[in-house]
Amino acid sequence: MQDLIRTLLKELGEDPDRQGLEKTPQRVERAFRFLTGGYKADVDQVLNNALFTVDYSEMVIVKDIDFYSLCEHHLLPFFGHCHVAYIPNGKVIGLSKIPRLVDVFARRLQVQERMTSQIAETIEKKIDPLGVAVVIEARHLCMAMRGVEKQNSVAVTSAMLGAFRNSTRTRTEFLELIRHK
């Protein structure tokens, strides 16, 4: 990877041996390995058996989960907040595991739409809840720094499964609860 980065620097018209760029190939490799660490993550290890049988049937929400990802089209960052809700059907997930699950999918080359679905589908598969909802609000640097150059635009995606898809009332309650003050 470092050789490729050196080549990229040369193709951009830079001297990869100049003082400020000498260690750039190593730094970029470390950064990309970290930012794409989700490929090596095992969802079951991330959840670490933090699936508990609980007699609770009301909505569980973890909102404003910060994330950073890389757009698979331009390798530029997109970042924002993820809001996750589910209605238990006898099992719950340890609360700290939900942001970890978001990171598994964010730390891959991504499109926001797929990431949203992957989070919802994984929760559905792991605990078979009555419903799952995921909303992601993100700023994409591929839109802000290049292309249309719209610095203040925010992309919003959602995945609504089970009760959140089938019940307008449930969906509305979730959307009201995640609305920012």
pLDDT higher than 80, residue 181: no
In a domain, 43, yes or no: no
Residue 84 to residue 64: CA distance in whole angstroms = 9
Q: Is 82 a catalytic residue?
A: no
pTM of the predicted structure, to 2 decimals: 0.95
pLDDT of res. 4: 98
pLDDT at 77: 98
In this predicted model, what pLDDT tens digit does every residue of 47-70 receive, in sequence order?
999 999 999 999 999 999 999 999
67 and 150 part of one domain = yes
- In the set 74, 81, 113, 151, the catalytic residue is 74
Q: Would you give the DSSP letter of residue 22? A: T
Share of the chain above pLDDT 70, in %: 99
* Predicted local distance difference test score (pLDDT) of residue 180: 73
Same structural domain, 27 and 53: no
Backbone dihedral region of 164: left (phi > 0), alpha (psi from -120 to 50 degrees) or beta?
alpha
Q: Does the residue 44 lie in any domain?
A: no
Where residue 128 falls among pLDDT bands split at 50, 70, 90? very high
State the catalytic residue, choosing from 71, 83, 110, 118. Answer: 71
Per the annotation, the verdict on 58 as an active-site residue is no
* Selected catalytic residue, list 82, 83, 118, 140: 140
Token pair of 12 as six digits: 């951009």
Buried b (16+ CB within 10 A) or exposed e, 127-155: bebbbbbbbbbbbbebbbeeeeeeeeeee
What's the domain range around 8?
A: 2-35
70, 26: one domain: no
Backbone φ and ψ of 75, nearest 5°: 60, 30
Catalytic residue chosen out of the listed positions 26, 73, 113, 151: 73
- Concerning whether 83 is annotated as a catalytic residue, the answer is no
Residue with tokens 């802000």: 144
The CATH number that applies at residue 76 is 3.30.1130.10
- Annotated catalytic residue within 22, 26, 45, 72: 72
Tally of structural domains, the chain: 2
Alpha carbon distance 110, 117 (integer Å): 12
Closest CA to 68 of 59, 79, 76, 57: 79
Residue 122 near residue 134, CB atoms below 8 Å: no
Average model confidence (pLDDT) across the chain: 97
pLDDT of 82: 98
CA pair distance 40, 68, nearest whole angstrom:
17
